[in-house]
Amino acid sequence: MTPPQRNPEDRPVATLLAPDIVALLEESPADIAVETEEIHPADLADVAELLERDQLAKFLTALGPARAADVLEYLDEELRTEFLEAITPRQAAALVSEMTPDDRADTLEEISEEHAEEILSEIPSEARRETERLLAYEPDTAGGLMTTEFVSVSADMTVEAALDNVRQVARSGKKEAMHAIYTTDREGRVVGVMSLRELLAAPTGGKIADIAWTEVQSVRPSADREEVARLIANYDLVAVPVVSESGHPMGVITVDDVIDAIQEEQTEDVQKLGGMEALDEPYSTISFWRMIKKRAGWLSALFLGEMLTATALATYQKYIDERTVLSLFLPLIISSGGNSGSQGTSLLIRALALREVSLPDWWRVASKELATGFTLGLILAVIGFSRIELWQALSVHHWTVFGVEIGHNYDLSLSPTGEQIVHLGQHLPLAITVALSLLGVVMFGTLVGSMLPFIFRGLGFDPASASAPFIATFVDVTGLIIYFNVALHILLR
Amino acid sequence: MTPPQRNPEDRPVATLLAPDIVALLEESPADIAVETEEIHPADLADVAELLERDQLAKFLTALGPARAADVLEYLDEELRTEFLEAITPRQAAALVSEMTPDDRADTLEEISEEHAEEILSEIPSEARRETERLLAYEPDTAGGLMTTEFVSVSADMTVEAALDNVRQVARSGKKEAMHAIYTTDREGRVVGVMSLRELLAAPTGGKIADIAWTEVQSVRPSADREEVARLIANYDLVAVPVVSESGHPMGVITVDDVIDAIQEEQTEDVQKLGGMEALDEPYSTISFWRMIKKRAGWLSALFLGEMLTATALATYQKYIDERTVLSLFLPLIISSGGNSGSQGTSLLIRALALREVSLPDWWRVASKELATGFTLGLILAVIGFSRIELWQALSVHHWTVFGVEIGHNYDLSLSPTGEQIVHLGQHLPLAITVALSLLGVVMFGTLVGSMLPFIFRGLGFDPASASAPFIATFVDVTGLIIYFNVALHILLR
């Protein structure tokens, strides 16, 4: 079977391969391993996801444990867990034993503890101890990302000896990470690093210590995955060693795991920014109630926060009674605060994540955002003011869009007396009230929006939790207090 | 100078190194190249950013062109452009000639066209033509990301010949990408790929065609950087070849450039989600007016959209005149629509980006989100209903928080007659109105929020442009129409 042309738009690789593989499974399962040997395990995993449950077991068995383990690594998390829990612990152990130590630990982490322990007990003792050690780290730390099989050579070796060493490891068929080769001193501490390319380029007879770079970017096992990602991105690395306090190598994090971590982090950030808990599993496979749980929490919290608007408005109800026209501009004014706050928040969340600014810069950012908020507020104030004045001037024309009358002359009625006062000049105080409120609300929204990520970071939370809906809720209450206080001094005095 | 211990929290590498380098620049600039040879160019770039302009020129000159080119690659874009425009075209050409072709093209792209052409004219003709070819590609396509120097060997070579070949290239000191080695057929088309490790592990005497993988993941030069990123992430690659329509290799995109692209994309997405244009430059260095321009556009557009709420409310003003209590719950109800819409949008933006769902799935997503919206709406309706009823029941207690009276008894006044009707049972229709409106608004918001990313994608826009503020504005108008129509049938009939 030759690998078909890839077309990423609709992943035809899997859909093209699936019928052939199903046919082979029926007719000659023994040929599957040979027929698919040139196909990338990621594509085979896509095929596996399209198969029936019993076909899947047959398919993975036909591939043999080493190849099946490769496919399992790329398989959808939930399906992998389901499959490994359905087969016997001994069968599962045979499969996960073929995985790299980091993938093995990741796989067992997802399985129910009881099953994972049964599977672990069937794994050879050395690999078992190693896996248990990796399982002890939090999955989103350097320790949770690292693999423990990597290549290091002694710094006082010759180039030829080191190359022989590396070649032996490569030929052993084991899955050591070989993205970079680390050099160690006599106490086994990491003292240098070189690429396979640099080792190949080295003059014959040279010493490793003369070739390796002595600046080694490394992390502690407790480092956050964001720090690992920043290091890899900053120094254009393909791997980062994880070293202990004493400088001894514990493992290596490879760039592919970091890319996965960056993408997961990005998904979490976008979901948090949308005002919800991060799903932690694909949208297409998450169960209905788990999704409700992730969304209802924040939505209810925001709702409870937003209830303060009703409470605050109740205090101002007598002014609304007096001039109902005030309520017409309420959504316009408070939403402008939310929108400008959302801009400030998203800017500062990224600036903090990329280390363009850090906590002590808050004062510099605050003054910049205050000036920005003033300018943006002025722009909206001019638009708002012109709109009210223009509308009044043009209000001889009335027309209707979607059942809503456009060009409506605001009813500046004074209730409860019911006396209608609609004369020219009456709208000027209203226009001034709206314009000044907009200026105040946008300045306030911008400032709060840009400062909240700092406050969250300072309190040890993820700045991305300062979502647009969170800011909007926060600014809505203040926005209407600003609005009614401006109205009190201009329109209602 | 030994590289100091890195501490990513406050980047002390640069701040620790800077004083030593400034001292060296004063006393013996000739020693700088040797003293800093073990320090990563990324760290030297951080130091360079801390220097005065004239010190920077002196520093880069002291490093020599090859090393200075490395440092320039990591330097802040704006500073690099400023520096290269300030020196003579000949000096600049000497520096950019030392860069890899892709970095050279990226660097020249940022410089004013006039300066770039002057610099290009000083570059040797072969490199110039290559650079001009790369400059023709859009920066966010595969062609704009690729480097043209990579290693390929003929498929019918022996392992030893190929290894000699690779070793020669590595020793040449050129900057060929060696993340993967591609094999070509007699017509020069890409037919296989292997890692340096696989080449090293190959049995002596074997043929390259027997070792290389025939499934080669590749992209066309016009492919979007998002597609490149997805490929790298999906197949755990460290490089992707860019091939022409006829299958001939044109260049290679390495994983470090892809990580940079992913991070840029992420920054753009978060900024768009916040309701603004992507900044395209760091927050800390962007000029005040350029930032205003990026923010004012969307903010004004959202403001104009939100103006429809004032227009719609004007139509309902007579009902507000009748029951001002209606206006108290206005912000609460419309913001719930915006919040639930924002959740739906952020979920689907990521699901689309990760290809968990695609355009034809819109119908499946719509029904899932309708059910979700109903459930979430029900939860908020219950909270809203209980709140109004509880507040009325408990309203014997009055207390004040931040000047806002809590436990206020809603004034269910019937204006314009001024007759006050505040008796038990009167608040029930209000509670029912609020609850039913919440159910409707949340369902509508959830549905619209989840569908907008599909609509944006379908129209060829970036789904991330469907920002939280955009949804909120969209849903606010509809939300209040729903609210007043429910009120019309329950509270005001």
pLDDT recorded at residue B321: 83
Question: Given this model, what pLDDT does residue A395 score?
Answer: 57
Distance CA B274, CA B402 (A): 30
Q: For A292, which of B196, B344, B376 is closest by C-beta distance?
A: B376
Which residue in A has a C-alpha nearest to residue B417's C-alpha?
Answer: A416
Residue B192: both structure tokens together: 């296989």
Q: pLDDT tens-digit profile of A229-253?
A: 989 998 999 999 999 999 999 999 9
**Which range is least confidently modeled, A128-142, A150-164, B15-29?**
B15-29
Q: Rounded CA gap, A59 and A57, in Å?
A: 5
Mean pLDDT of A420-438: 72
Q: Has residue B486 got a pLDDT over 90?
A: yes
Instruction: Quote the minimal CA–CA distance from B109 to chain A in Å.
Output: 21
Domains along the sequence of chain B with CATH: 12-136 (1.25.60.10), 150-271 (3.10.580.10), 288-490 (1.10.357.20)
Confidence of residue A415 (pLDDT cuts 50, 70, 90): very low
Q: Which residues touch A363 (CB under 8 Å, ≥6 apart)?
A: none
For B369, the closest chain A residue by CA position comes to: A288
Q: Which residue of A has its CA nearest to B360?
A: A10
Instruction: Give the strand pairing for B177-184 and B190-194.
Output: antiparallel
Among the partner residues A43, A270, A361, nearest to B350 by beta-carbon distance: A270
Of A419-428, B326-335, B368-377, the range with the lowest mean pLDDT is A419-428
Least Cα separation, residue A27 to chain B (angstroms): 25
What global pTM score does this model have?
0.81
Nearest residue in chain A measured CA to CA from B278 = A347
Name beta bridge partners: A207.
Answer: A158
The string of pLDDT tens digits covering residues B430-471 is: 899 999 999 999 999 999 999 999 999 999 888 888 888 889
Q: For residue A384, list chain B residues with Cβ-Cβ distance below 8 A.
A: 303
pLDDT at B278 over 70: yes
A8-63 confidence digits (pLDDT tens):
444 457 777 888 888 888 888 888 888 888 888 888 998 888 888 888 888 998 89
Report the distance separating Cα A312 and Cα B233, nearest Å: 50
Q: Which of A229, A336, A408 sits opposite B303 (nearest CB)?
A: A336
Cβ of B270 within 8 Å of Cβ of A273? The answer is: yes
Contact A411 B227 (CB under 8 A): no
Contact between B214 and A3 using a beta-carbon 8 Å cutoff: yes
Residue A7 or A89, more confident: A89
Angle between helices B89-96 and B77-86 (to 10 degrees): 130
Q: Would you place residue B406 in the very low, low, confident or very high pLDDT band (cuts 50, 70, 90)?
A: very low
Residue keyed to tokens 């080695």: B181
Higher pLDDT, B61 or B9: B61
pLDDT of residue B12: 54
Using alpha carbons only, what angle is made at residue A218 by residues B6 and B237, rounded to the nearest 5 degrees? Answer: 130
- Read off the pLDDT of residues B224-259 as tens digits, 9 standing for 90 and up: 988 899 899 889 999 999 999 999 999 999 999 999
User: Of A343, A415, A437, A450, which to mutate for an interface test with B (greatest number of B Cβ within 10 Å)?
Assistant: A343
Task: ipTM value, please give it.
Answer: 0.81
Closest residue on chain B to A202 (Cα) = B171
Mutate to test the interface with B, among A215, A272, A383 (most CBs of B within 10 A): A215
Asked whether the predicted pLDDT for residue B393 surpasses 80, the reply is no
What residue in B sits closest to A151 (Cα-Cα)? B197
Can you tell me the distance from the alpha carbon of B493 to that of B489, in angstroms, rounded to the nearest whole number? 5
Is B357's CB within 8 Å of A178's CB? Answer: no
Average pLDDT over residues A403-415: 45
pLDDT at residue A422 is higher than 60: no
Partner residue facing A283 (CB), from B284, B356, B472: B356
Q: In A, which residues are within 8 Å of B291 by CB distance?
A: 372
pLDDT tens, residue by residue, A64-111: 888 999 999 999 888 899 899 988 999 999 999 988 888 899 899 888
What value does the mean pLDDT of chain B take?
Answer: 85
The nearest CA of chain B is from the CA of A49 a distance in Å of 13
By mean pLDDT, which of A59-63, A397-401, B388-392 is the weakest? A397-401
Query: A327–B327: do the CB atoms touch at under 8 Å?
Result: yes
Please list the helix, strand and coil fractions of chain A in percent, rounded to the nearest 5, in that order: 65, 10, 25
Confidence category of residue B1, pLDDT binned at 50, 70, 90: low
What percent of chain B is helix, strand and coil (3-state, nearest 5)? Answer: 65, 10, 25
What DSSP designation does A3 have?
P
Task: Label residue A326 by pLDDT band (50, 70, 90).
Answer: confident
Q: Which of A36, A306, A488 to mutate to test the interface with B (most CBs of B within 10 A)?
A: A306
